[in-house]
Amino acid sequence: MNRIVKAVLWTIPPILVFVVLPSLLIGIVPTSLITQVDALLGISISAFIMSLAIFGIVLATLSALQTWAYKWSIVKPVAGALHMIASYILLLFILGFGNPITFGTANIGISPTALGGQTSGMGTINITIISTFLALLVGVAVAMKTVQKYMKYVEDKRFHKLNMETKAQQAPPPPLTPSTP
């Protein structure tokens, strides 16, 4: 398959998952419910969806770039490594409930007053979800994958050079004397 067609096809999954589907979902859900969830959790759902869309576009671009690049080109491992780093930041962003700096810790402050009068007597509820384990191990996996990509690139480059040399040797030798008309 043509490299450009392949590159275009590889942009579809991230765009679909992080741009199209969340936008469709937010379009289906009633605005009043979104406002209520915003007030309950103290975060902006629209901003969260917007951040996901940005991640989706970045991932799609990097996917296209690494599919388009030749195996022996430095662009491939660089785009691949950047793609993995962007995916990792996206994971931290989701685990941190919109805050990737917390390294897998989500702090959700729930305001029961947003639910109405059912929770009289209850003040605020803070829920902390710690997923440092996942963040740590995925980080190690990303590092190992980056190393593997670089090793593959080195081997691909060496093989490409060898292939070119073989082709050059197999080509018919140029004529010794220029042909005269």
Partner 1 sequence: MTMKHKYSKKVRILGYVIIAFELLTAVTWFAAWYGNGMVLMSIQRLAFGGGSQSFGFVNSTGGKSLTVPVTGGGFFPVTVSASLLVLNSQNQTLSQVQSSVTVSPGETKNLTLTVPNSVISSSSPLSNYYLHISLEIMSLYNLVSIGAKIELNTSVFSGGSKS
Span 151-180, contacts to partner 1 by CB under 8 A: 151-152, 155-156, 159, 163
Name the residue nearer to partner 1 (CB basis): 12 or 144. 144
Least distance CB 138 / partner 1 (angstroms):
7
Q: How many CB atoms lie within 10 A of CB 3?
A: 11
Identify whether the C-beta of residue 71 lies closer than 8 Å to the C-beta of residue 156: yes
Nearest Cα neighbor of 42 from 105, 97, 117 is 97
Contact 40, 75 (CB under 8 A): no
- x-or-dash string of contact with partner 1, 114-153, rule CB under 8 A: -----xxxxxxxxxxxxxxxx-xxx-xx--xx-xx--xx-
CB of residue 108 to partner 1, shortest distance in Å: 9
User: Structure tokens of 7?
Assistant: 């590159």
Token pair in block for residue 130 = 């710690």
Tokens at 151, concatenated: 């090793």
Closest CB to partner 1 among residues 19, 153 = 153
Distances (CA, A) of 48 to 56, 66, 80, 111: 12, 27, 25, 19
Site string for partner 1, 66-105 (x = CB under 8 A): ----------------------------------------
The residues of the shown chain that bind partner 1, judged by CB under 8 A, are 119-134, 136-138, 140-141, 144-145, 147-148, 151-152, 155-156, 159, 163
